[in-house]
Amino acid sequence: MSVIKIELTQGQTLSDYKDDHFDFKKNGLPTGIIDKKYTGIGATHCEIVSKRNSIIVSPTRSLARSKYEEWVKKEKEKGISCFYLGGGFGKIKDEEITKFNSGNGFKKVFSVADSFPKIVKALGDSVYKDYAIIIDEIDSFQQDTSYRTSLESVVDYFWNFSNKTVVTATLIEFSDPRFKPKKDFPLFEVHLDDYVKKPLNVFLVENQVLATANYINQLYIQDNNKKIFIALNSVSHINRVIKTLLEDERYQLEDFGVLCSVSSREKLMKGLSWEKIENGKLSKQITFATSAYFVGVDIKEQVHLIVCNADDMRYSILFPEKILQIIGRIRVKPHSLSLISFRKLANPWIKSQFPFINKKQFLEKFGDIKNDLEIQARALAGLKNKNLKESIVNGLLETEVEGIKGLLRLDSASQVVVSDFSVDYLLYDSKRAREYENGIKSLLDYLSQYFEIKKGEIFTSQFEELSKLNAKDQVEAFLSSYDSRILRTSGFFDGANYSLLALYEAEANLKDRATASLLLQSIYFSYLDGNDWKNSLREYNEKAIQIIKFGRILLFYKLRNSKFFDEKIKSLFKIGDSIEVSAFKDKFNQLFINKRKNSEDHINDFINQDLIISNQLFPEFLNHIFEVELIRVTRKKKTKYKIISFDSPKFKTKVSRNSFRDKLDEKLGVDDKKVLLSVSDKLLKSLVS
């Protein structure tokens, strides 16, 4: 049989499974693919306690090391001998490996993928019969090979072992035909009867990073003794969340910790603690983790788990299998499980990072490439000129397939071969991204197999207070008393009159982002009448009504309507020009080279923000300066934008229709100014004149 079902009941693990053919606890994991579907059912445990020698290969140092540190303490009790092969303990010599191999007890090697070839080099071909190999979390090998090419090298040795197993809870389809289930390499599917679904709170919001900060604040206010663990795959996003929370006097920098790779450590904001896990315990009240720890940590204490699926960066987007994997890191009953996500993948720059791929044609192409590479390998074997050979090999590795690099690699024999794992994840990536473009129904359908989905909303504290108000006069009264110091010094509010210019001038010194956000939201919603009040308040609660957006739009408008803009920007750019990110930033900065000493000029403040530093937000920036058209989108080639006009579409009045947003356009004026400033063209022009 090529597919074998493993039936377990609630509370059982794989060590409990035994039938006429298999005894997992005694003999270890069988040769084949273990699709365990559920985390925490003891797959690696089963192998570690088995009566044979084993090499357990992990994708990350944190996972291999945590397993080793857990089991090295139990060596005598379990009759095993443990060895860690990976970074962090100094350089491992061959003599240390051979000495370990000659010791007593069943030997268990916990190896990081990058270090695995060392044991083969030290022990020679005998390792293939003397040890079983287990590749744990094989899906992570597939996903991460694109930027860690050493991961796939494990497969070059894998097929030489007599006993070999790959394990995953989130199976991704293999393009390598050797992984196709067959009689001597079957697929074991775990089925858990009477599985009790845990509740999962799902919040679909416009600004995922801001919502994460707000939700952390809600949980912390409810009970600041309960730890919070946040999975967010972006150090810059983590820094933003923490900076937002630090604006509240409840929090101190020492309250926060981050689990991330060594290479990401230098990107952390100054003073932020880089954490390690000790015995499954978190040392900080609020701990963030990036993808280096999505498969590399077991949390063995109660926490609130928040998974942030953010759509404004390529690698902060999480697909269903990864989210399930993250939730599986919590090994005890959590206080709560929550997912904060976008509604659908809409950002054109982000979508361009996920190329559309015809799977059938793509795999057929690789069939031809494999044949060509075999012919070229034979030709290279007879080539004596080393420099020429190296040059040819490097040229082959740079080969693009359908405009995509990185799909070829050097194997353990230094031959150029197809990177099957990179192909696997590219196909998976493309498929899931296409699903997200139509919304995240596929994500919720997938998660509903394992969790009881409970949709909710995250509200700011300002929303909570504003939602209790029923009329414009109540908002004005609330606003006037909210922060007398700010209102008094800024001259923002005077009876029934709003001075947006005064607020704008005050915002540079306004450190309390929550207060600033409240002021702006109050302006906006005080313009609304009747039944629309509560609905619009709810709709815009998590949208872009923040003080930073207020200043940004005003700066855009100030720039666009200034004489300076007409004189300078049109000297650098022409209609029909194609703009690429880095070249545009270099040119744009020339505009301000002589203006940066002018303390009254706020446009320079904008240059120092992340907006044009961040490629993801580049289209938004351009659309406030020009009217542009996206003209090229490939994964490896740089995206460009063509200038159609010097009139920004962001400041054009839209034709009124019947949607709620369009009714607001009719009521309040122009698109972005209306949402973020709630003022008329006349007033806005008066601010920049």
pLDDT in the model for residue 179? 96
Q: What local confidence, expressed as pLDDT, does residue 106 receive? A: 93
What was the pLDDT predicted at 312? 72
H/E element holding 188?
A: strand 187-193
Q: Given this model, what pLDDT does residue 560 score? A: 58
Per-residue buried b or exposed e for 499-509, using 16+ beta carbons within 10 Å of the residue's own CB: ebbbbbebbee
Are 219 and 289 contacting, i.e. CB atoms less than 8 angstroms apart? no
Contact 687, 554 (CB under 8 A): yes
What's the confidence (pLDDT) of residue 539?
53
Q: Are the beta carbons of 357 and 224 closer than 8 angstroms?
A: no
**Res 649: pLDDT:** 60
Residues 609 and 600: their CA atoms lie apart, in Å, by 17
Q: Which domains does the chain have, with CATH numbers?
A: 3-193 (3.40.50.300), 198-343+440-456 (3.40.50.300), 359-433 (no CATH), 459-539 (no CATH), 546-689 (no CATH)
Label residue 327 exposed, middle or buried (CB < 10 Å: 0-12, 13-18, 19+). buried
Tokens 């004189």 locate to 567
H or E element at residue 166: strand 164-168
Paired strand residues for 273:
257
Which pLDDT value is given to residue 31? 96
Burial of residue 573 (number of CB atoms within 10 Å: 0-12, 13-18, 19+): middle
- Give me Rg for the CA atoms of the chain: 29
**pTM for this prediction:** 0.69
pLDDT one-digit tens code per residue, 544-602: 333 344 444 445 555 555 666 667 777 888 888 887 777 776 776 665 544 444 433 44
Instruction: Kindly give the parts of the chain with pLDDT less than 70.
Output: 1, 88-90, 296, 347-349, 459-566, 585, 588-625, 631-638, 648-689
Dihedral class, residue 563 (left if φ above 0, else alpha if ψ from -120 to 50, else beta):
alpha
Q: Is 467 exposed, middle or buried (0-12, 13-18, 19+ CB in 10 A)?
A: middle
